[in-house]
Amino acid sequence: MTQAVAHILEEAEQLSAPERAELADRIVESLAHDIPPDIAAAQITEVRRRIAQVESGEVSLIPGDEALAHVRRIVASAHHAGAAPHSAVAELGVVSRCSRLDTAEKPE
């Protein structure tokens, strides 16, 4: 971690939870500007594919609290086994960058 990042992190830790959430959201949004058009198009295609799977009944959704509990169990299990947290996330097939569906083009 660079000194600049360490300093910003130290300052960010002094913010309230809502302020940190807003800062994190804006940082993630700023990264979206750096996504190559072909990757952005692939992300939208994937979102549309997943929406179609849900709408067709091919897959079913689970409540968010259940999904988070499942993720936490996998990460805790990986941690206890000595694996890095990112390996547990990779095991889930979770992309580390969050996408906002409300800003993506929605299918009709």
Identify whether 3 is part of a domain: yes
Identify whether 84 is part of a domain: no
Identify whether 7 is part of a domain: yes
5-45 pLDDT, tens digit per residue, is 999 999 999 999 999 999 999 998 888 888 898 998 999 99
Identify whether 28 is part of a domain: yes
Per-residue pLDDT band for 107 (boundaries 50, 70, 90) equals very low
Identify whether 12 is part of a domain: yes
Total domains, the chain: 1
Identify whether 14 is part of a domain: yes
Q: How far apart are CA 46 and CA 58, in angstroms?
A: 15
57-95 pLDDT, tens digit per residue, is 999 888 988 988 988 888 888 877 776 655 555 555 543
Domain range for 29 is 1-34
